[in-house]
Amino acid sequence: MSTCGLPPYGVAMQAITRFGPILMSMGTESQRRQFLPGMISGDQVWCQGYSEPNAGSDLASLQTRAVLEGDHFVVNGQKVWTSHAHYSDFQVLLVRTDPDAPKHRGITYLLVDMHSPGITIRPLIQATGEHGFNEVFYDNVQVPRENVVGEINEGWKVTVANLMYERTSIAAVTPVERSVDELIKLLRAVQFEGMPATRHPYVRQKVAQFASEARCMRFGRYRALTSQMRGHVPGPESSFGKLFGTELNLRIAMFADEVLGPYAQLEHGSPAAVQDGLWVYRLFFSRAMVIGGGTNEIQRNIIGERVLRLPKG
């Protein structure tokens, strides 16, 4: 376990919901024996080395290099927006191993020990004031060849599957039903347009809409879970859950902001803050979630092109 402090609740979920399924379906037997027990127990915390300063939504443009020297790769480059890197023991890392190949080829998916010499982690502080993201720098970091998942230069196939698991997991953990419950608790404590908020017809209609959509979200999660239990790797349909869940959560936070009016600007610690500034935090965090796992604009492109078969714009 990382010795740099106790990680926040849920950090180990990345391994359980994304990387574990990848190893089960695409890893070697040796990799499964080595890494799955620690993922399941939570003794190993994992992070994901995907985005770079010049390769975000266009992930295949990544430039972090790995050169095979004997039985090790030597990695040099930089990743950014790496969630929980400062707590992590291992990382799944995308590297370019053939710079002359088309950008969706020549990419390799590696498993990296985050305690390896040459790795430097720098914090990025979010709008919420939390330290969840990091920059990670690699200076001649050695990674054993046997830590390749899939084939060398064919890591994009693994990457796409990983992204599908990620989007499915984001949809699964986005707390839409909890947000509805907390919104109702808020509405019971405040007034809106001169009357108790829970009696206002506009407010009641919005809450009914949110509650209905949250229940639909639950059934969509059940459907995705059933598919995975049958051994299927999530496909483009995972974009639906990620898109719908994160935008619903954002709309709930924005409605709370509307109801609170000027009090919506008061943060944690302010004497007049309603529910200790919970909804200020929720609004910032909800906006972050529409970016994580591939922006929602990208999800719309995926749905349009791969599900609806619409022509590319």
Active site amino acids: 166
- 5: amino acid identity, one letter: G
DSSP E strands, 114-180: 119-125, 131-144, 148-149
How many Cβ atoms from other residues are within 10 Å of residue 143's Cβ? 23
Rounded (5°) CA angle 166-167-168: 90
CA 190, 193, 199, 200 torsion-angle sign: negative
In sequence order, what are the residues at sequence separation of 6 or more whose Cβ sits closer than 8 angstroms to the Cβ of residue 146? 28, 30, 31
In sequence order, what are the residues at sequence separation of 6 or more whose Cβ sits closer than 8 angstroms to the Cβ of residue 6? none
Buried b (16+ CB within 10 A) or exposed e, 241-265: bbbbbbbbbbbbbebbbebbeebbe
Rounded (5°) CA angle 283-234-305: 80
What's the maximum distance between 2 C-alpha atoms anywhere in the chain? Answer: 74
- 88: amino acid identity, one letter: S
- Tell me if 256 sits within 8 A of 277, measured CB to CB: no
CA 284, chain centre distance (Å): 15
Phi/psi at 63 (nearest 5 deg)? -125, 0
- Tell me if 276 sits within 8 A of 268, measured CB to CB: yes
